[in-house]
Amino acid sequence: MTLSGKASIVGVGASSLERDPQRSVLSMAGDALMGALDDAGLERGAIDGLCVQIGSPRGADYDTLALTLGLDVRYASQTWPHGRFTATVITHAAMAVASGLATRVACILAMKNSDLGRIGEANNPFFYEQFRENGGPHGEEGHIGMASPVAGAAMALDLYCRTYGKDRELLGAIPVAFRAHARLTPDAVARDPMTQEDYLACRPIIDPIRLFDCSLVGDGAVCLIISQAGLATVAQRPVAITGVQGVRASRESYIFGPLGLGVGQQSGKRLNMREARGHPAYRMAGVTPERIDVLGVYDSLSPLALYTFEDFGFCGAGEGLDWIQDGRIGLGGERPTNLNGGQLSHAQLNGWGQVRELVTQLRGEAGARQVQKARTAMWATIGGDALVLERN
């Protein structure tokens, strides 16, 4: 039995993305849900499943969402208050509709950061994560001064550049490319022009990570409606979920590094090209990297996009900094990526903004940033989780 093709995305919706401490996270979730329902031509009564990515206090829990927004579901699930579980949440919804536990599932990411400090700072509810037993979720060790997710990303980037003898300034190609895409995206939060010179001039946060390597911490919500494929209608412009894989975890995994290279006890052994091209999501969908017309990658910090190109076989281990140059990942390039601007320039929505963009692209509704003849899209992250989406 395969999950491939059993579930389709039939509706997408999003709230506005401005930072506003006065706006309830439930208001954002409601806007996203009703937007997705209107997009799908459905009423709330058609929804019998709810999969939530972020709960309270950063978001809203599944029970609050259901009672507040008037949903009556028989299948609900929820993951933790960080990112990382985007594809997993959507996979849960696909599994639920494929197995008959539900017919249509609303997947919701609703997150408000404007009244919180940055993660790692004392006025943030996640302050104590840096003291999590056996290390914080991004390698934090608060007692030695290693706070903030940025630190682990900086350490992994230094390790990567030392391992391969690469110039870290080449990384600027990622935020610069995604900013150019954001300038074509009406609801992107950061739309000022950005050049490599701007990137080199921006201030350091934790060396070797700079300000423009960090995503925009903001507010917003996205809703996707996952339907049993057989219930989808032509009017819904459905996008089929043909390949999925959840996030991986092991001693070889570090969430802000490529598989095998991180700030913990990773061996340094990277995936070879055959292994990367054999990723389970490719195999489930029956596609190769060459078939991917539009790519969305997790980019809460710019190095994560770099490693993702390598771990999914778009280029070899250690080749990414050279590979991303010369417009390769831009609109019109060989591998157009994060066409809405990603977390770096569109909005920090844990990647849900990118998945929404992939649906928009496959429907041919992306306007000035439309990739021509986009038929196959992929969501891929450095955690190993992935979605392959295809236009029906």
Binding site for another protein (CB under 8 A): 118, 120-123, 127, 130-131, 133-135, 139, 141-148, 151, 154-156, 158-159, 162, 203-209, 251, 263-265
Cα gap 148→357, rounded to integer Å: 28
Q: Which is nearer to another protein, 147 or 387 (CB)?
A: 147
Q: How far is the CB of 351 from another protein (least distance, A)?
A: 24
Q: How far is the CB of 140 from another protein (least distance, A)?
A: 9
Amino acid at 369: R
CA atoms within 13 A on the CB side of 55: 12
Q: Which is nearer to another protein, 80 or 131 (CB)?
A: 131
Q: Which is nearer to another protein, 205 or 324 (CB)?
A: 205
Cα gap 2→9, rounded to integer Å: 17
Q: Which is nearer to another protein, 62 or 127 (CB)?
A: 127
Cα gap 149→217, rounded to integer Å: 13
Q: Which is nearer to another protein, 135 or 327 (CB)?
A: 135
Q: How far is the CB of 219 from another protein (least distance, A)?
A: 22
Q: How far is the CB of 148 from another protein (least distance, A)?
A: 5
SS3 102: coil
Q: Look at the block and give the residue holding tokens 């010369």.
A: 326
Cross-strand bridge partners of residue 391? 239
Q: How far is the CB of 161 from another protein (least distance, A)?
A: 9
Cα gap 94→88, rounded to integer Å: 10
Q: What is the DSSP letter of 146?
A: B
Closest CA to 2 of 193, 181, 240, 185: 240
Q: How far is the CB of 122 from another protein (least distance, A)?
A: 5
Cα gap 258→268, rounded to integer Å: 9
Do residues 293 and 287 make contact, with C-beta atoms less than 8 angstroms apart? Answer: no
Q: Which is nearer to another protein, 160 or 312 (CB)?
A: 160
